[in-house]
Structure 1
Amino acid sequence: MRDPADKGTLDIVSGGMRIGYARVSTVDQNLELQHDALARAGCVQVYEEKASGKSKAGRPELANMMRALRKGDTLIVWRLDRLGRSLVDLVQIVDELAGRGVAFESLSEKIDTSTAQGRMFFGFIAAMAQYQRDVISENTLAGLKAARARGRNGGRPPALDDAAIKEIRVLMKSPDISMASIAKRYGVSKPTLYNSLKRAEKKEAEKPAPARKRTSANSSRSRSNTR
């Protein structure tokens, strides 16, 4: 533990450290701008990442930093989009930090969750993220409802259409053509090929049988019965 009178030495155990996180999306971009800004903000350590940020798995330094942060620390980024790959992702990360007692600062947007004003502003961002999720959910449900109204149940379209199924059935009659070669020809796997054939058979079996045409004999019999 550090001496309470010592304001210059940070305690890695009890927290209170200012930790920076810098990220660029490709290896060609330079981290110096972010690094310099974080150094001016008093960061004693900066985790640097050169990754696309599409998933946490592709950001090992972010994972290392999250493990290293302690209660009382402050995570600092140059800009909000350097931390989260999306608004929802950003809110999830900052919520996790808050739950662990770690403050968050974004230098460009001047957000500091250690202050009431900063928490209020980030609360607005969280509300926008929730709104974004709700809109996506509502649009998805509306799309499924419209699809059902048109006789579709949603999901992926079939890999093979009716015309392809007819061609495949013709090819299957040849002893020289294997199912593997047919699947390769249509750009699908063998399981997909078999599943498509089963779906086609089920679809055909569910079709109502066509009404039989009345023959002339039946017509004559009907007329004689009415006399």
Structure 2
Amino acid sequence: MPRIGYARVSSSSQDLEIQKARLKAAGCEIVRAETGSGASRDGRNELATILEFLRADDELVVLRLDRLGRSTRDVLNLVHELDAKGASLRVLEPEVTTAGGMGRMVITVLGMVADMELTFIRDRQRAGIEAAKQKGVYKGRRKQVDDLKIRRLAAEGASKAKIARDLGVSRMTVYRALKASGTKADEKIE
């Protein structure tokens, strides 16, 4: 039974090496790893690649269930997809596999816990942002593009859509920059 390992961290400041080492030690011949949120499968190309190439009797192995996903629905959908291919899921911490009936129930419970944990993380983040705003410390994300550059391009006659495309920002960012300068969004800057 070929074992394929999947490792994931949420941000580039986190280290994948511990997960990779544990997956190799568990007998994974192939280990795919990526950085990205576990809230959904969007943008998780390594996981998509694994799912595409899994065959009957293969086993997808993760260190902890939250590395696979934090949404109960996503996790259960993944288990269903694995079942449809004749493959199974193995979680190393705690040791659980979907190869048996009891394992599916445990995976469901662990998925619900991961989902609940994601809700708690978001609640704490929201509370922290609100507290920082009240202290006047939170200013939001740093600007990616200088307003002066947007105003200069508008003055040169570029459309708002073209400015947004060229600078890789939303049109709303362009409108805000023009509004902040006192320029109406539909007038040219002299």
TM-score (norm 2): 0.56
Among residues 36, 55, 69, which one is paired with 1:84 in the alignment?
69
User: In the TM superposition, what is the alpha-carbon distance from 1:116 to its structure 2 partner?
Assistant: 3.4
Query: Counterpart of 2:106 in structure 1: which amino acid?
Result: F
Paired residue for 2:106? 121
CA–CA separation in structure 2 for the residues paired with 1:120 and 1:87:
12
Give the 3-state SS of the residue equivalent to 1:58 in structure 2: coil
Paired residue for 1:99? 84
CA–CA separation in structure 2 for the residues paired with 1:24 and 1:31:
7
**Kept after mapping to 1: 8 A contact 2:40/2:69:** no
User: In the TM superposition, what is the alpha-carbon distance from 1:124 to its structure 2 partner?
Assistant: 4.5
Paired residue for 1:195? none
Give the 3-state SS of the residue equivalent to 2:60 in structure 1: strand
TM-score (norm 1): 0.47
User: In the TM superposition, what is the alpha-carbon distance from 1:121 to its structure 2 partner?
Assistant: 2.0
CA–CA separation in structure 2 for the residues paired with 1:39 and 1:101:
23
User: In the TM superposition, what is the alpha-carbon distance from 1:67 to its structure 2 partner?
Assistant: 0.5
Paired residue for 2:52? 67
Larger radius of gyration: 1
Tell me the C-alpha RMSD between the 2 structures: 3.1
Label 1:125 to 1:54 Cα distance change in 2 as closer, same or farther (>3 A). closer
CA–CA separation in structure 2 for the residues paired with 1:122 and 1:62:
18
Label 1:68 to 1:28 Cα distance change in 2 as closer, same or farther (>3 A). same
Query: Counterpart of 1:48 in structure 2: which amino acid?
Result: A
Note if 1:110 corresponds to 2:95: yes
Where do 5+ consecutive residues of structure 2 fail to align? 117-174, 180-184, 186-190
**Kept after mapping to 2: 8 A contact 1:91/1:125:** no
Q: How high is the sequence identity, in percent, across the aligned residues? A: 42
- After TM superposition, which residue ranges in structure 1, 4 or more long, deviate above 4 angstroms? 123-126
Among residues 17, 26, 37, which one is paired with 1:41 in the alignment?
26
Give the 3-state SS of the residue equivalent to 2:42 in structure 1: helix
**Kept after mapping to 2: 8 A contact 1:23/1:31:** yes
User: In the TM superposition, what is the alpha-carbon distance from 1:17 to its structure 2 partner?
Assistant: 0.8
**Kept after mapping to 2: 8 A contact 1:84/1:93:** no
Among residues 57, 71, 88, which one is paired with 2:42 in the alignment?
57
For residues 134-153 of structure 1, what are the structure 2 equivalents within 5 Å?
none
Which digits, 9 at most, give the CA deviation of each residue in 1:103-129, with x for residues without a partner?
101101211111333233235457x59
CA–CA separation in structure 2 for the residues paired with 1:64 and 1:31:
18
CA–CA separation in structure 2 for the residues paired with 1:121 and 1:51:
25
**Kept after mapping to 1: 8 A contact 2:5/2:62:** yes
Label 1:55 to 1:110 Cα distance change in 2 as closer, same or farther (>3 A). same
